[in-house]
C-alpha cells in the first residue's frame, strides 16, 4: 500500500520538526543562562 509510505513520511517529518524545535529551545535556554 502506498498510503503506508505516505504515513511514514509524515511521521518522519513530524519527528524531524519536533527534534528541531527542541534543539532551538535548548539553544534559547542556554543563551538566556
C-alpha to C-alpha distances, 20 to 17, 27, 28, 29, nearest whole angstrom: 5, 11, 12, 14
Q: What is the pLDDT of residues 1-33, one digit of tens each?
A: 689 999 999 999 999 999 999 999 998 889 876
Instruction: Check residue 1 and give its pLDDT.
Output: 67
Instruction: Check residue 31 and give its pLDDT.
Output: 87
R_g of the chain computed on alpha carbons = 15
Instruction: Check residue 15 and give its pLDDT.
Output: 99
Q: For the whole prediction, is pTM greater than 0.85?
A: no
C-alpha to C-alpha distances, 8 to 5, 12, 13, 18, 24, nearest whole angstrom: 5, 6, 9, 15, 24
Instruction: Check residue 10 and give its pLDDT.
Output: 98
C-alpha to C-alpha distances, 26 to 1, 8, 10, 32, nearest whole angstrom: 39, 27, 24, 10
Amino acid at each position: 500500500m502506498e498510503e503506508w509510505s505516505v504515513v511514514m513520511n509524515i511521521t518522519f517529518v513530524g519527528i524531524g520538526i519536533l527534534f528541531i524545535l527542541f534543539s532551538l529551545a535548548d539553544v534559547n535556554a542556554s543563551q538566556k543562562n
